[in-house]
Structures are given as C-alpha cells and as structure tokens.
C-alpha cells in the first residue's frame, strides 16, 4: 500500500469508528447531535488519529486497539476548531471547506457543540483497552494534559495575548509547542501506549511528536501566506490580517521552509531506534513537510 492509499484506508477506519462512537444525528436533542456530526464529518485530514494508529504500529501493536484514543484526539481537535472559529476568538466563516459551525447552528449552539465534543473525547478515550504498563486512567490523564490550560488552551491564551505584538522566535515556539505540537504528540503517545510501549519508546516518540508538531505549524503558517482560501478550505491570509506573529513574519518564507525541513529531520532522527516499524511515521512526516493544504 502506498502512503496515499494508507492514509485513505486509515481515515475510512477512523470515520467508521467515529460514526459508531458519536450519538446518532436523530438522538434527542437532535440539534446538538447534528451539529457535532456536522463539525466532525466535514472532511478534515484525520492527521491526529492516523498518527495514533501509526504509532501503535511503530511499537508493534495492533492499530485496531488504538481506535478509541484515535477518535478521542480527533473529536478533541474538532472541539478546538469549533471554538477557535467563534466570533469571540478567530471569528472565521469557513472551516474544512464549509461554513463554520456557528454560521450554520448559531453561536450558542456552537459553544455547546465544542463542549459536547470535548466531553465525548473523554468518553471515547475511557474505552481504550488497558495495556500492561498503562491502566485506563493513564490514557485519560494523557488526553486531559494535552487539552489543559498549560497545553492546548494555554497555547491559545498565549496566542491571543500575542496578537499585535512583536514576538521572538522563542516565544512563537512556546506557543506552538502548547497549541499545536502537544496534541499531535499526545495522539502519537496514546497510540504507542495501546501497544504497551516502553518508557524509552515513549520518550523517543515524544521527541518525534514535538518536532513533527512544530514542523506542521511552520508549514501551516507558510500555507496561510502562499495558498488560496479555496485550496486550504479555511480563510487564507488570516494571520497577517490580525497581526499574528508567524514563522514567515519572523523568519521570512525561505528561512521558514528551512526551519520546517530541519524540524522534520529532527523528527526522523528520533525514529531511528524503531527501525522498519516506524516506516509509516517517516512517510507521514515527509508528506506533511511537502503538503500543499
């Protein structure tokens, strides 16, 4: 299977599992369940759940055992997008190529949709089958930390507070370690944990996740400047419009590209001990560096 087929096959598995986990659209109160499904099944790349499954493989596990945490990270990620798009945050009309959740369901319902997806994430992760080294609570704690006020939410706070200010590269890295890299790293760690990963394996994958997450964000910043709204499925040029510090605004485009390549190499280096088992993770890292949307 080449990478394209692998990504499509994994995304189909994740979508089927999400469909099974989420309350049915007609379940009452139907508005919220329709809105949750609208946000989740809007055509995201499913990067986080795919990384979760690939990390389970890298540690010799069965990806099937990683489906519950894979779905959990995707719905937690979707909650952050729904809330991030609200008028009181980034105020965006377009997400994943469709009108944002609040544009369709109204602001109040979109707040509740994000809340419900966040809660659903914990219902999902709690269904992970414990591994020898990892009891059920370890998965729950891992996900809670990624979404916490020191990681995802903390990153968003630093981001909001940084708008209109001149930030240093070090400050920008701090924001993106928390806002973007932490959830990607957790996705990978959760998959590895289902495969009963050793402490050393988890340490290696944490280094991989941080570098991959930062590279992902550098590329995201570059695409915001170089791609169109149609291709991205979200409003392009948004960062400059709100005077947000980004890698291109601090380093320039050429140095940002070099930075992404350097971080991707750092990520690859962390995979050396995993030998062939980490082949998919390597291919994904390479693919993310070259992505165009």
- For ligand GRG, the closer of residues 137 and 242 by Cβ is 242
CB of 43 to ligand GRG, least distance (A): 8
CB of 220 to ligand GRG, least distance (A): 4
CB of 246 to ligand GRG, least distance (A): 10
- For ligand GRG, the closer of residues 133 and 165 by Cβ is 165
CB of 269 to ligand GRG, least distance (A): 23
**Which residue's CB comes closest to ligand GRG?**
44
CB of 144 to ligand GRG, least distance (A): 13
- For ligand GRG, the closer of residues 94 and 192 by Cβ is 94
Distant-in-sequence, close-in-space partners of 281: CB < 8 Å, separation ≥ 6 = 51, 54, 55, 58, 188, 208, 271, 274
Q: Tell me the DSSP string of the chain.
A: --HHHHHHHHHHHHHHHHHHHSPPTTSSSHHHHHHHHHHHTS----HHHHHHHHHHHHTT--GGGGHHHHHHHHHHHHHHHHHHTSTTTT--SEETTEE-HHHHH-HHHHHHHHHHHHHHHHHHHTTSPPPSS--HHHHHHHHHHHTSTTTHHHHHHHHHHHTTS---HHHHHHHHIIIIIHHHHHHHHHHHHHTT--HHHHHHHHHHHHHHHHHHHHHHHHHHHHS-HHHHTS-TTHHHHTT---HHHHH-HHHHHHHHHHHHHHHHHHTGGGGGGGHHHHHHHHHHHH---
CB of 261 to ligand GRG, least distance (A): 18
CB of 174 to ligand GRG, least distance (A): 14
- For ligand GRG, the closer of residues 47 and 172 by Cβ is 47
**Cis ω on the peptide bond leading into residue 84 (within 30° of 0)?**
no
CB of 1 to ligand GRG, least distance (A): 21
- For ligand GRG, the closer of residues 70 and 81 by Cβ is 81
- Could you list the residues that contact ligand GRG (CB under 6 A)? 44-45, 47, 80-81, 83-84, 89, 96, 152-153, 156, 179-180, 220
- For ligand GRG, the closer of residues 156 and 186 by Cβ is 156
- For ligand GRG, the closer of residues 57 and 74 by Cβ is 74
Q: Find the angle CA(268)-CA(272)-CA(276) to the nearest 5 degrees.
A: 100
- For ligand GRG, the closer of residues 59 and 117 by Cβ is 117
């Amino acid at each position: 299977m080449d990478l394209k087929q692998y990504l499509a096959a994994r995304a189909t598995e994740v979508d089927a599992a999400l469909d099974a986990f989420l309350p049915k659209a007609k379940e009452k109160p139907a508005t919220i369940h329709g809105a949750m499904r609208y946000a989740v099944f809007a055509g995201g790349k499913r990067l986080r759940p795919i990384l979760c499954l690939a990390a389970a493989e890298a540690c010799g596990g069965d990806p099937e055992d990683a489906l519950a945490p894979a779905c959990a990270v995707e719905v937690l990620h979707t909650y952050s997008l729904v809330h991030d798009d609200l008028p009181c945050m980034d105020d965006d009309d377009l997400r994943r190529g469709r009108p944002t959740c609040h544009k369709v369901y109204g602001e109040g319902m979109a707040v509740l949709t994000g809340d419900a997806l966040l809660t659903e994430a914990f219902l999902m992760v709690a269904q992970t089958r414990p591994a020898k080294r990892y009891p059920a609570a370890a998965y729950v704690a891992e996900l809670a930390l990624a979404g916490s006020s020191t990681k995802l939410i903390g990153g968003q706070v630093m981001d909001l507070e940084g708008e209109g200010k001149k930030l240093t590269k070090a400050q920008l890295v701090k924001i993106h370690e928390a806002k973007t890299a932490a959830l990607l790293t957790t996705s990978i760690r959760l998959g590895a944990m289902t495969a009963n990963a050793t402490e050393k394996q988890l340490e290696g994958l944490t280094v991989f996740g941080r570098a991959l997450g930062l590279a992902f964000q550098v590329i995201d910043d570059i695409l915001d400047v170089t791609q169109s709204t149609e291709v991205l499925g979200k409003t392009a040029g948004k960062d400059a419009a709100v005077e947000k510090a980004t890698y291109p605004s601090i380093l320039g485009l050429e140095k940002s590209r070099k930075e992404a390549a350097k971080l991707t190499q750092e990520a690859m280096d962390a995979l050396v001990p995993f030998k062939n088992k980490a082949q998919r993770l390597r291919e994904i890292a390479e693919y993310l560096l070259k992505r165009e949307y």
